[in-house]
Structure 1
Amino acid sequence: MAKKPKLEHSELSGEYSEDGVTVLVDIFRPAGTQGDWKLEVVTEKEELFEWDEPFATDREAFDEFLATVARDGIRSFLEDDDVPTTH
């Protein structure tokens, strides 16, 4: 069984609530590296939304999340599909 790589989570990760909806924003990269950051959003129903492209900084990843919420609304993460979505 392969070991999962250890991850470093950004201080910008955490719960985000708006308009009665709460999601978990997870921004991470491999621990001990200066690698790019990945962005994932998990809903209360444990639906996963992940961005295909990595980000140079954790701030860029969080800003992209905020831009998505501003453009599409927080409810855009509440889809009836069980299929993970990429942004």
Structure 2
Amino acid sequence: MKKIIYIGVVSIFVGVLSGCNDEPKSEAWYKSHPEETFNVYKECIDSGEASQNCENARKAAISFARSGNAELENKFLPLMRK
């Protein structure tokens, strides 16, 4: 019985620690990672989330949509219209 309780406590502890690393990525980081920016910003739009992470992804997405790079503009402009 003690082993089950110990495993349960350790599992909860590991779960809590893994959720504590939600520090938002910077706008500069997103500007260096267009694919991640697209995925995160799309999820933010779909979920309605308004976190700092979403704001940083939004700013980077706007930069990509105005970048002059046709491939990035074609990818990000539809997100700007949502």
TM-score (norm. length: structure 2): 0.26
TM-score (norm. length: structure 1): 0.25
Structure with the larger helix share: 2
Larger Rg: 2
Structure with the larger strand share: 1
